[in-house]
Chain A
């Protein structure tokens, strides 16, 4: 297929459409409004449903409902709206329901601003709502990845019967790049046929729930969920960039991951040996590669567009095997490659 030139928000929408998404529920918020705009036209045209809900809470519960019926469905929002969706996401995880949730992260806390930020890392990868659950979290760094990972999100959501989160930001959402789309999938009409709600004629009724009151039931349920999360470790994805001879490993994800590449290229010309590991899945987190790189005597520097969140997972991964610094790009300030030069030089040279 030939390349098309679209913005990240549209790439996510097209990825969902081509992956067989047939229900979209949303509530407007900047900087992700291109998604409901696209879906308001695309879903009816594809024979699906578009609902502009009365609130984010409602939209997330509609996603739960569609997931219970085995329908490929999506909701999207940005940070303040994501906080409102957490209850339903916890219920979906507890009920083992598939669904795709998009967060185009903006500045926080509270209403923050409408610019890019990575302040929702903790919320995204540590559960976000109540209880011991995880969502799989995919963090695109390019518009092509925004498309591809949304496509993948639907596959994972149904393979693991679990909510899958796409974590972008205002940069990924608003920038345009050429992408090559895939062939749309023809979704199996019987997908989820062994568990979905579809009317119980001629069989025992099913119940999809997150409430377990009988003795030992919740313990067993939690154990099963943990086993599922352990199985999902094999979905781990990351990109390595110039790590072979690197003395300093920078860890950065999403838009910051790509911006720091420009800084690394520039510093390489000056003879400074920096490389990058860009986690693409934030949960499961690519711990193994970081640990193996740490074993080779390198230093680490985590760069995030927040006050220090993923750096905790980096430090857990490398278990004290290497020095591990952090640089905060302040939410509210637009990042440029220049911002990261001095922090990288400092990390390489200080002893």
Chain B
């Protein structure tokens, strides 16, 4: 049976949504799957919303641009407002409950995973790793890619200058996965 999933990852500029989109894509490639990554940004890069789309498939990929995704990672309120209505029925939504009121989640229609990504990242050492917590939660919720592969790919997306931060980021990924158990 073929594997297919598409995801929109969205948040404020600066929350690292492009980074985790890239990381997810690398992990898919390392898992032997086909993958596309396309960023959508502009003036949003400075303080507004930024988003990217990742399509993962065992088959050839047609469109890298998806209107109604099967899954969503919403790092902030504007991202949930904008993209939650677009997610397919029974789709998977990971919500950063540190910044989003979980009352807004469409629990009847979607599989919702609320993860206090900022708090968990804070506890590990740096709020800025909230993106990794969310990706860890997503990885566990979707179940297509092993968390270990995602952790191994950190070195591909974090520049060598910051390589000392890789163990902490791996920890944040694991904590995110733990949070959806």
The answer to whether A336 and B22 have CB atoms under 8 Å apart is: no
Asked if A259 is at the interface of the complex by the 8 Å CB criterion, the answer is: yes
Chain B residue nearest to A176 (CB atoms) is B37
Q: Which of A46-105 contact B (CB under 8 A)?
A: none
Asked if B113 is at the interface of the complex by the 8 Å CB criterion, the answer is: no
The answer to whether A178 and B67 have CB atoms under 8 Å apart is: no
Stretch of A159-167, A260-268, A294-302, A316-324 on the interface side: A260-268
Rounded to whole angstroms, the CA-CA distance of A334 and B38 in the bound complex is 12
Q: Which of B27-62 contact A (CB under 8 A)?
A: 29, 34-40, 60-62
Chain A residues with CB below 8 A from B62, complex form = 258-265, 337
The answer to whether B22 and A171 have CB atoms under 8 Å apart is: no
The answer to whether B64 and A175 have CB atoms under 8 Å apart is: yes
The answer to whether A336 and B29 have CB atoms under 8 Å apart is: no
Chain B 124-159: CB-based contact to A (< 8 A → 1; otherwise 0): 000000000000000000000000000000001000
Query: Provided the pairs A5-B29, A177-B35 are in contact, do residues A171 and B67 lie with their beta carbons within 8 angstroms?
Result: no
Partner of A171, one of B61, B64, B68: B64
Chain A residues with CB below 8 A from B36, complex form = 175-177
Q: Which of A142-179 contact B (CB under 8 A)?
A: 171, 174-178
Chain A 263-300: CB-based contact to B (< 8 A → 1; otherwise 0): 11100000000000000000000000000000000000
Shortest C-beta distance, A120 to chain B (Å), equals 20
Rounded to whole angstroms, the CA-CA distance of A174 and B67 in the bound complex is 18
The answer to whether B38 and A176 have CB atoms under 8 Å apart is: yes
Rounded to whole angstroms, the CA-CA distance of A3 and B29 in the bound complex is 8
- The dominant DSSP class at the B interface is mixed
Shortest C-beta distance, A216 to chain B (Å), equals 53
- The dominant DSSP class at the A interface is helix
Asked if A335 is at the interface of the complex by the 8 Å CB criterion, the answer is: yes
The answer to whether A261 and B63 have CB atoms under 8 Å apart is: yes
Chain A residue nearest to B39 (CB atoms) is A174
- Most B CB contacts (10 A, CB to CB) among A171, A177, A337, A338 go to A177
Query: Provided the pairs A259-B63, A261-B63 are in contact, do residues A338 and B68 lie with their beta carbons within 8 angstroms?
Result: yes
Chain B residues with CB below 8 A from A177, complex form = 34-37, 61, 64
Rounded to whole angstroms, the CA-CA distance of A261 and B57 in the bound complex is 14
Asked if B26 is at the interface of the complex by the 8 Å CB criterion, the answer is: yes
Rounded to whole angstroms, the CA-CA distance of A229 and B99 in the bound complex is 61
Tally of A-B Cβ pairs under 8 angstroms: 62
Shortest C-beta distance, A191 to chain B (Å), equals 35
Rounded to whole angstroms, the CA-CA distance of A337 and B67 in the bound complex is 8
The answer to whether A178 and B39 have CB atoms under 8 Å apart is: no
The answer to whether A336 and B64 have CB atoms under 8 Å apart is: no
Chain A residues with CB below 8 A from B22, complex form = 176
Rounded to whole angstroms, the CA-CA distance of A175 and B36 in the bound complex is 7
The answer to whether A176 and B65 have CB atoms under 8 Å apart is: no
Chain A residue nearest to B153 (CB atoms) is A5
Chain B residues with CB below 8 A from A337, complex form = 62-63, 65-67
Shortest C-beta distance, A343 to chain B (Å), equals 15
Rounded to whole angstroms, the CA-CA distance of A337 and B66 in the bound complex is 7
Chain A residues with CB below 8 A from B65, complex form = 171, 259, 334-337
Chain A residue nearest to B67 (CB atoms) is A336
Q: Knowing that A171-B38, A176-B38 are A-B contacts, what are 18 other residue pairs whose CB atoms are under 8 Å apart, sorted by A's residue number?
A: A3-B29, A5-B29, A5-B35, A5-B37, A174-B38, A175-B36, A177-B35, A258-B61, A258-B62, A261-B62, A261-B63, A262-B63, A263-B62, A334-B40, A335-B65, A337-B66, A337-B67, A338-B67
Residues of B within 8 A of A (CB): 22, 25-26, 29, 34-40, 60-68, 156
Residues of A within 8 A of B (CB): 3, 5, 171, 174-178, 258-265, 334-338
Q: Can you list 29 A-B pairs, Cβ within 8 angstroms, ordered by A?
A: A5-B26, A5-B35, A5-B156, A171-B64, A171-B65, A174-B39, A175-B38, A176-B22, A176-B37, A177-B35, A177-B36, A177-B37, A177-B61, A178-B29, A258-B61, A258-B62, A258-B63, A259-B62, A259-B63, A259-B65, A261-B60, A261-B62, A264-B62, A334-B40, A335-B65, A336-B63, A336-B66, A337-B62, A338-B68
